[in-house]
C-alpha cells in the first residue's frame, strides 16, 4: 500500500478534471503576471539576478551565511508591497483603505518579528516619501495601516501549519494579537478557546494572530 495514501489531510479532496485544473492554473498565472514581480528594492538583485524580481505565487528558499538574511529579505519585500499598496490606495479614488492582506507563518518569537517588520516598514516609508518634518505624521499612519493588514501565526509542527492554512482559506482568523506600548504583547482569545497551557496538551497549531501597531504617535520613523 502506498504510504502516501495513509497521510492525513486537512483539506477535503475530490476528483477534479484535468481541464479544470489547467484552466484554473492558467487564470492564476495570468492574474499574477498582471500584478508584476515582487521587488526587494536592491537593484542588483532585482534586475541582474532575478531579472525583474521574485515571481509571485512561487515558493522561494534563501540560503545565506547569516540565518537572519532570509527573514530580512522577506520582510523587506513584504514592506515594499504593503507601502506600495497603501500609497496607491491613498492616491486612488476609494476611501484610502486597501484589501491587500499578508500572513506571516514562523516559529520565531512574536515580539522579535513584530519589531523587525515595523522597522522595515518605517525605513521603506521614509525611503519612498523622503519624509520631512511635516510628513512624519502621514508616514506613521501608513506604517500603522500596513501593520493592520498583516496577520502573524506562530507554528511549530505540520499540524499547526495545516490549521493556519485552513483558517486562511476560510478567511476567519481565530484571534487577534495586540501589541501594547512598550512591546508588551497580548493575545486576545475568544471565549470558546483554551488557554496556552491547556492548548499545549491538545493537538493542533496556534491560531492566526493579527498585528496591531504599538508605536506612540510621537515615535520617530527609522532612517533609511
Q: Are residues 172 and 191 in the same domain?
A: yes
Please count the structural domains in the chain.
2
**Structural domain for 164, as ranges:** 66-93+100-224
User: Sign of the CA dihedral 99, 109, 178, 165?
Assistant: positive
* Cβ proximity of 72 and 111 under 8 Å: no
Alpha-carbon separation of residue 101 from 77, 168, 182, 183 (angstroms): 14, 11, 26, 23
Q: Are residues 81 and 38 in the same domain?
A: no
Q: Are residues 122 and 210 in the same domain?
A: yes
**Could you give the CA distance from residue 54 to residue 45 in angstroms, rounded to a whole number?**
10
First to last CA, the chain: 57
Q: Are residues 75 and 168 in the same domain?
A: yes
Q: Are residues 21 and 109 in the same domain?
A: no
User: Which pTM does this prediction carry?
Assistant: 0.58
Task: Give, for all 224 residues of the chain, the pLDDT tens digit.
Answer: 445 544 555 566 788 899 998 999 899 888 888 888 888 888 888 888 888 888 887 778 888 788 778 888 888 888 888 888 877 655 554 455 556 788 888 888 888 888 888 888 888 888 776 655 446 677 888 888 888 888 888 888 888 888 887 776 665 444 443 344 444 444 434 344 444 444 444 444 444 454 544 444 455 555 55
Amino acid at each position: 500500500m502506498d504510504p502516501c495514501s495513509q497521510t492525513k489531510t486537512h483539506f477535503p479532496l475530490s476528483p477534479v478534471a484535468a481541464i479544470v485544473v489547467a484552466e484554473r492554473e492558467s487564470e492564476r498565472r495570468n492574474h499574477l503576471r498582471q500584478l508584476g514581480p515582487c521587488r526587494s528594492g536592491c537593484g542588483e538583485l532585482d534586475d541582474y539576478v532575478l531579472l525583474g524580481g521574485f515571481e509571485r505565487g512561487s515558493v522561494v528558499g534563501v540560503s545565506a551565511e547569516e540565518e537572519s538574511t532570509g527573514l530580512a529579505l522577506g520582510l523587506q519585500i513584504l514592506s515594499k508591497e504593503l507601502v506600495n499598496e497603501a500609497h496607491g490606495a491613498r492616491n486612488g479614488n476609494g476611501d484610502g483603505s486597501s484589501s491587500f492582506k499578508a500572513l506571516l507563518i514562523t516559529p520565531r518569537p512574536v515580539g522579535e518579528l513584530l519589531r523587525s517588520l515595523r522597522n522595515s516598514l518605517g525605513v521603506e516609508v521614509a525611503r519612498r516619501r523622503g519624509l520631512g518634518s511635516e510628513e512624519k505624521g502621514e508616514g506613521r499612519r501608513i506604517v500603522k495601516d500596513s501593520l493592520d493588514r498583516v496577520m502573524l501565526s506562530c507554528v511549530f509542527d505540520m499540524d499547526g501549519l495545516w490549521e493556519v492554512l485552513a483558517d486562511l482559506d476560510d478567511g476567519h482568523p481565530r484571534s487577534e494579537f495586540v501589541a501594547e506600548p512598550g512591546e508588551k504583547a497580548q493575545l486576545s482569545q475568544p471565549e470558546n478557546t483554551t488557554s496556552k497551557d491547556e492548548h499545549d496538551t491538545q493537538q493542533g497549531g496556534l491560531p492566526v494572530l493579527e498585528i496591531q501597531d504599538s508605536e506612540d504617535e510621537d515615535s520617530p520613523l527609522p532612517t533609511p
